[in-house]
Homo-oligomer: A and B are copies of this chain.
Amino acid sequence: MSEVLELKPGVEIKEAIFQINEEIEKLKFGENPVELYDPIHYFMKLGGKRSRPLLALMSYSLFKEDYKSIMLPAIGLEIFHNFTLIHDDIMDKAPLRRGKETVHQKWNDNIAILSGDVMMIKVYDFFLGVEDPSKISRVISRFNRTAVEVCEGQQKDMNFESLPTVSETEYLEMIRQKTAVLIGYALELGGILSDADEDSIHYLRQFGEDIGTGFQLMDDLLDVYADQSKFGKQVGGDIIENKKTFLLINALNKANPAQREELDKWIAAKDFDKDEKVKAVVEIYNLLGIKELTERKMNEYFDRSFDSLSKISASDEAKEPLLRFAKYLISRDK
């Protein structure tokens, strides 16, 4: 895509990402013992879209000019996000993250647990960097509620793996907690720090949560229906791994007895041809209209998020960058 995305009118988003990465490059978490600090520096520099700090800066920029003044708490969000990835990777026994070895793979589980713990502690140092001390308590208290929900979402996600069925409502609540609440908090943080009115803070968070949930549904959808030539991962990967996505959950809940038997057979299969499994499961998805169902639900979230954005009391001009960035994030063609 060729359009130039902006953080706020007159500041390109790539300039802000550069600034965020520059700050992250400079971070010195500690030195000794190296077993504790090397993994932290390694992981923080693996890259990533930095969307959480970015969204905090964008949200702040709706109401105030000097977005660099909230760089510390914004980077706290990125540290927290990376902490959750390190611990989640242990739990999921994932060997790779962003194409590189995960911390527990490169070092070991104990080091991954402990370096994650240190990152979690350090997050609060960054929140103490909030310039107006009277806001620290609110910032941390709201963050804590969010962080605990992220853990709850991760536990539910693990629970779902061993459950025979999961309801759509349970699934949506899980992805809201595991993924969306932190996006919501990033925007809420920008609102709190820019002295936005309470209603706008509320809608900023709501905008973020709904975009985040819709974004996860899009992820589920793309895994199955993406154009392989444009998709970074193997199309059908979730199907091969029996991942309980929005699509599979709905297919299991809507299948007739014959279709259910077919799905159960593929889920139970230990030795199978991957392409054959993907083809068979997608055929059932298509018969059940799972793609359209998922698109409908996803668009409900996106519509509601744009509705929340419209209720935030900043000018349309000020909101334009956030709107365009959100549309960019949810476009399939990026």
Q: Are A87 and B111 in contact (CB under 8 A)?
A: no
Is A314 part of the binding interface, using a Cβ–Cβ cutoff of 8 Å? no
B137 and A128 contact, CB distance less than 8 A: yes
Is A147 within 8 A of B159, CB to CB?
no
Interface SS, A side: helix
Cross-chain pairs A/B with CB under 8 angstroms, 11 sampled: A30-B148, A35-B155, A35-B159, A36-B155, A110-B158, A113-B113, A114-B155, A117-B117, A117-B120, A128-B140, A133-B137
Contact check, B90 vs A113: say whether CB atoms are below 8 A apart.
Answer: yes
A151 and B32 contact, Cβ closer than 8 Å, known pairs A114-B87, A128-B141: no
Residues on B with C-beta less than 8 A from A159 are: 33, 35
Residue A124 is within 8 A (CB to CB) of chain B in the complex: yes
Chain A residues with CB under 8 Å of chain B are 30, 32-33, 35-36, 87, 90-91, 109-111, 113-114, 116-118, 120-122, 124-125, 128, 133-134, 136-137, 140-141, 144, 147-148, 151-152, 154-156, 158-159
A110 nearest in chain B by CB position: B91
The distance from the CB of A77 to the nearest CB of chain B, in whole angstroms, is 14
Cβ contact within 8 Å between B120 and A144: no
Contacting residues, chain B, for A122 (C-beta < 8 A) = 144, 148
